[in-house]
Chain A
Amino acid sequence: MTPFQQDLVSRNVPSFEAHIVVLELSSYQEDVNFYIPTSPSSLTSPPRVVHSLIIINKAGGLVYNRSFSSHLNTISVNDLLVLAGTFHGVHAITKSLTPSSLFIPSNQRTGIEVLDSSSFRLNCFQTFTGTKFLLFTEPGQPNVETIVRKVYELYADYVMKNPFYQLEMPIRCEQFERGLVSYMRAK
């Protein structure tokens, strides 16, 4: 507490007045070039622009897909399955492309992680157990790592801990769905 505030307290000034004093102090700091974010938009992280999410099991089968924006072209489930299988293969190839002269142990080589294009970015996160999470986002999307982690946590909580979910089978869990949507919409 500043001496000034202590003075206020000792004189029994109601607390809301003390609040105003604090606010004035912060605007004073702004005057002397001390950056304090004021607009609410700069306080929160930028809106997450995640187009869609695909989960591929360790055998290359599509177990989950969901899109989060409405203006995407829809493709048939069949095509998605082919896409998942193809990506799985490409991932395996890129993994073995690592030059052996780099002396990276084989279990630490990763396959394709990011695929960039002018209109979207494809992020691939593979868990140690072989499950792949593919996230389609805007090209400049920051903090993808955090989003993927969160999705993985939701997956571990709502899918793996659901006793009625069979491993490696397509995911139909309402709670997972709800958790995902509320996380993606949170801005």
Chain B
Amino acid sequence: MVAQLCTDFDSDYNQVNSQLDKMGHSIGMRLIEDFFAKSGTQRCANLRETAETISKVGFKMFLNITPTIANWSADNKQFSLIFEENPLADFVELPDDGRAQDELWYSNILCGILRGALEMVQMQVEAHYVSDVLRGNDTTEMRITLLRYIEDEMPPEDD
């Protein structure tokens, strides 16, 4: 799928990244219902709890992995998920055209999924990769920033 996108966008990796993010976003908005229906989790009181739930319940349920939570920022609004393994990228080698290594975030769809899913539960977040083993980094790390809580009563399209 990622390969197809690369062909479609003529190896414009920035566009591939944003497309992956968009696709993930729509997946996340639907997947969140499945998550609640099957897991029966309660509402999280703060971002720390949310992070735990994402890692220990969400990723466990859908990908059977448990990324480590690390690098909390001082104001408790940013954290990183560190993936020891990534089923999406198990057999993947990035094309060596000199740019993919620097521009393509292969698993960017996961960022989109988290963004979509959390948006449905009134949390606006920003998620992006900071490193990826596919690029030759030591770890795969996703940085998640909480932007704001969306006010409950107002559906997003009204404000």
A115 to chain B, nearest CB (A): 21
Is B30 located at the chain interface by the 8 A CB criterion? yes
Q: Which residues of A contact B29 (CB under 8 A)?
A: 167
Residue of B nearest to A59 (CB): B155
List A residues 85-109 near B (Cβ within 8 Å): 92, 105-108
Q: List chain B residues, Cβ under 8 A from A161.
A: 30, 34
- A153 near B37 with CB under 8 A, answer yes
Which residues from chain A contact B49 at a C-beta distance below 8 Å? none
Is B85 an interface residue, CB under 8 A from the partner?
no
* A161–B27 CA distance with the chains assembled, in angstroms: 9
Given A108-B43, A128-B43, A129-B121, CB of A156 within 8 Å of CB of B155: no
Count of A interface residues, CB-CB < 8 Å: 21
Q: How far is the CB of A144 from chain B (nearest CB, A)?
A: 16
Q: Is B8 an interface residue (CB 8 A)?
A: no
Compute the total of residue contacts between A and B using a CB distance below 8 Å: 48
> B152 contacts A153, CB within 8 Å?
no
**B33 engages A127 (CB within 8 Å):** yes
Q: Give the chain A neighbours of B120 by CB distance below 8 A.
A: 128-129
Q: What's the nearest-Cβ distance from chain B to residue A40, in Å?
A: 31
Render B32-71 as a binary contact track against A, CB cut-off 8 A, 1 for contact.
1110111010010100000000000000000000000000
A68: interface (CB < 8 Å): no
Q: Which residue of B lies closest to A128 (CB)?
A: B121
Q: Is the CB of A92 within 8 A of B34?
A: no
State A160–B155 Cα separation when bound (angstroms): 19
> What is the CA–CA distance of A58 and B31 in the complex, to the nearest angstrom?
16
Interface of B is mostly: helix
B-chain residues with CB within 8 Å of residue A176 when the two chains form the complex: none
Which parts of A132-182 form the interface with B (CB within 8 Å)? 149, 152-153, 155-157, 160-161, 167
Q: Do B155 and A58 touch across chains, with their CB atoms under 8 A apart?
A: yes
B89: min CB distance to chain A, Å? 24
Most buried by B among A128, A130, A131, A157: A128
Complex Cα distance A105/B31, Å? 26
Find out whether the CB atom of B121 lies under 8 angstroms from the CB atom of A156: no
Residues in A whose Cβ lies below 8 Å from that of B40: 149
- Which of A58, A106, A152 contacts B36, CB < 8 Å? A152
By the criterion CB–CB under 8 Å, are A128 and B36 in contact? yes
Taking the closest CB of chain A, its distance from the CB of B96, in whole angstroms, is 34
Q: A58-B155, A107-B43, A160-B33 are in contact. Are A153 and B121 (CB under 8 A)?
A: no
Q: How many angstroms from the CA of A106 to the CA of B153 in the assembled complex?
A: 11
> A167 — which chain B residues lie within 8 A by C-beta?
29-30
**Which of B30, B37, B152, B155 counts the most chain A CB atoms within 10 A?**
B37
Name 16 extra pairs, CB < 8 A, besides A59-B155, A149-B37: A92-B153, A106-B152, A107-B43, A107-B152, A128-B32, A128-B121, A129-B120, A149-B40, A152-B33, A153-B37, A155-B33, A156-B34, A157-B34, A160-B34, A161-B30, A167-B30
Ranked 4 nearest A-B pairs via Cβ: A156-B37, A160-B30, A156-B34, A156-B33
